[in-house]
């Protein structure tokens, strides 16, 4: 950490962002603004031929969309944050894009697949192909008005290719109150730097944008809301659609790494406001706030919820939970699909998991 950089403002601006070397933890520098933080991450693109719809698919499709092959020896694969792209009228097919870095079809497989979003079957196709769109150069990540530390100044003064490769780093972000919010890992390769208009002793530092995954542009309103500071009331996310609720939940989860909740003693009575539990992110947001207050975290999937019930996430078993307006969750979450397309009752699974974790739930 650069001494005093977060405790005061530099040139009238709060130094919200810090670039930190991850191996030893020293700070390269801090700044108030970053260009290139938001953008469109590179996405996998699949063209599904002979598409037979079972539900209307348009625009954003789902946070997790599974492609299930007919070949039972192969497992399903995942497109995260999936979108459908428009095709000309009369074209028999569907184009899906999504984040698929860690899940994908077997090399060369093109057979029939069925597609679902975790809650409903969307349709099927006779075959598919992965499309390799033309790569566009990624814009640089620019740290504007950067107050550099001694190590960074020495690297820039040397100016060699090796010196300008700062290797793995974390871009740490703080909200307007000065509290840690989130960080983004990147490989920090300096491509340019110049004097900054923010002050004679400051620079604008450009990093190679090819080595940084930007925050999706659709999430910008949620991030800007959280950069002001955490919510003061529960259900501040209630008016968001499912996609933005997942973006909100992502910040809730990451912020918890900096602010571990206080574990209440056994026997505590919790209350959950179920009016807005109309989708999966709403479930985990409401549950997190029931246990840990506004902006609180208590899981984001079944495995994470199970971990939270084990302690150190604001909860100690046994305890009680009054789930108000539970009928809303029962209506929206009773039918879900496993990755391979098997039907299950997510609402009942959640209740069973809470009970196994020592939380006695009363539905109201």
Span 268-289, pLDDT tens digits: 999 999 999 999 999 999 999 9
Selected residue with higher pLDDT from 329 and 259: 329
- Inform me whether the pLDDT recorded for 3 exceeds 70: no
Distance CA 3, CA 149 (A): 10
pTM for this one?
0.93
Backbone angles phi, psi at 274, to 5 degrees: -95, 10
Residue 312, classified by CB atoms within 10 Å of its CB into exposed (0-12), middle (13-18) or buried (19+), is exposed
Residue-wise pLDDT tens digits, 65-81: 999 999 888 889 999 99
Contact 320, 360 (CB under 8 A): yes
Residue-wise pLDDT tens digits, 19-62: 999 999 999 999 999 999 999 888 988 999 999 999 999 899 99
Helices 326-333 & 346-356, crossing angle to 10 degrees? 120
Tell me the pLDDT band of 13, cut-offs 50, 70 and 90: low
């Amino acid at each position: 950490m650069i001494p005093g950089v977060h405790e005061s403002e530099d040139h009238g601006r709060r130094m919200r962002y810090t670039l930190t070397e991850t191996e030893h933890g020293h700070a390269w520098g801090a700044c108030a603004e970053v260009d290139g933080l938001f953008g469109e991450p590179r996405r996998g693109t699949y063209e599904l031929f002979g598409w037979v719809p079972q539900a209307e698919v348009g625009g954003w499709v789902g946070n997790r969309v599974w492609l299930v092959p007919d070949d039972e020896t192969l497992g399903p694969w995942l497109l995260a944050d999936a979108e459908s792209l428009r095709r000309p009228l009369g074209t028999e097919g569907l184009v899906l894009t999504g984040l698929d870095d860690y899940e994908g079809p077997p090399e060369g497989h093109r057979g029939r697949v069925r597609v679902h979003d975790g809650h409903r079957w969307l349709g099927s196709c006779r075959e598919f192909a992965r499309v390799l769109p033309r790569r566009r150069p990624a814009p640089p990540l620019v740290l504007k008005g950067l107050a550099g530390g001694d190590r960074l100044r020495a690297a820039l003064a040397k100016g060699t290719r090796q010196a300008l490769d700062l290797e793995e780093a974390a871009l740490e972000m703080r909200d307007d109150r000065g509290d840690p919010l989130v960080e983004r890992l990147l490989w920090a390769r300096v491509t340019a730097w110049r004097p900054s208009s923010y002050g004679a002793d400051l620079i604008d530092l450009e990093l190679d944008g090819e080595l940084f995954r930007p925050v999706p542009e659709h999430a910008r309103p949620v991030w800007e809301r959280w950069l002001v500071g955490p919510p003061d009331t529960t259900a501040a996310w209630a008016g968001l659609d499912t996609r933005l609720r997942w973006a909100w939940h992502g910040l809730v989860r990451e912020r918890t790494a900096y602010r571990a909740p206080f574990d209440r003693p056994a026997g505590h009575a919790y209350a959950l406001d179920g009016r807005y539990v109309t989708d999966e992110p709403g479930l985990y947001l409401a549950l997190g706030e029931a246990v840990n207050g506004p902006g609180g975290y208590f899981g984001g999937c079944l495995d994470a919820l199970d971990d939270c019930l084990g302690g150190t996430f604001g909860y100690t078993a046994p305890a009680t939970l009054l789930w108000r307006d539970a009928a809303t969750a029962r209506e929206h979450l009773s039918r879900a699909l496993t990755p391979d397309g098997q039907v299950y009752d997510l609402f009942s699974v959640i209740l069973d998991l809470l009970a196994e974790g020592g939380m006695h739930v009363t539905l109201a």
